[in-house]
Structure 1
Amino acid sequence: MKAIYADYTISMSEFKRNPAQVLRTAGEKPVAVLNHNRPAFYMITPKLFEALVEEAADRDLVELVRSRLASEDQAIEVDIDKI
């Protein structure tokens, strides 16, 4: 059985009846829409989606910084006032 990463779940048929009501009921929480008792998709608000995208971008930046710190011996010192 797959894990469900949402506080709310709803069947596909119930979701199709009134998706706007599902969104209102869930508020800012994600909703797992189930098909045959398995997650078919997750419904999230734009605010939550933006937060997830920002988190992913931050993680990418952390990886970049760590990789650059690991190769610190190749760094070139620069005087920003002379640029």
Structure 2
Amino acid sequence: MQLILSNYTASISELKKSPTELLKKAGNEAIAILNHNTPSAYLVPSETYEKLMEMLDDYMLYREVKERLDNDSDYIEVSLNEL
């Protein structure tokens, strides 16, 4: 059985019937959309999705910075006035 990563669930039929009502009930939480009692998608409010994308972007930037700092390449010192 597949893990459902949401406190709210709805069938595809319920989603077709009243998507706005589902979003109202869930508030800012994701809704697992079930197909034969198995999650087939997650309906995520736009505010939550935007926060997730920002977190992902920050994480990817962190990984790039860490990789460059760990690399034993020569560093070039630059003052703020030179920028």
> What TM-score does the superposition give when structure 2 sets the normalisation length?
0.88
Runs of 4+ displaced beyond 3 Å: none
> What TM-score does the superposition give when structure 1 sets the normalisation length?
0.88
1:44 corresponds to which residue?
44
Paired residue secondary structure (2:56): helix
The residue type equivalent to 2:29 in the other structure is K
The residue type equivalent to 1:75 in the other structure is Y
Distance (whole Å) between structure 1 residues aligned to residue 19 and residue 58 of structure 2: 32
Q: What are the Cα deviations for residues 20-69 of structure 1, in whole angstroms up to 9, with x where unaligned?
A: 11011001010001001111111111100100100100110110111011
Distance (whole Å) between structure 2 residues aligned to residue 79 and residue 50 of structure 1: 35
2:23 corresponds to which residue?
23
1:17 deviates by: 1.5
1:54 corresponds to which residue?
54
Overall identity of the aligned pairs, in %: 36
Q: What are the Cα deviations for residues 3-25 of structure 1, in whole angstroms up to 9, with x where unaligned?
A: 21111011111222111110110
RMSD: 1.4
The within-5 A match list for 1:53-72 is 53-72=53-72
Paired residues, what number? 83
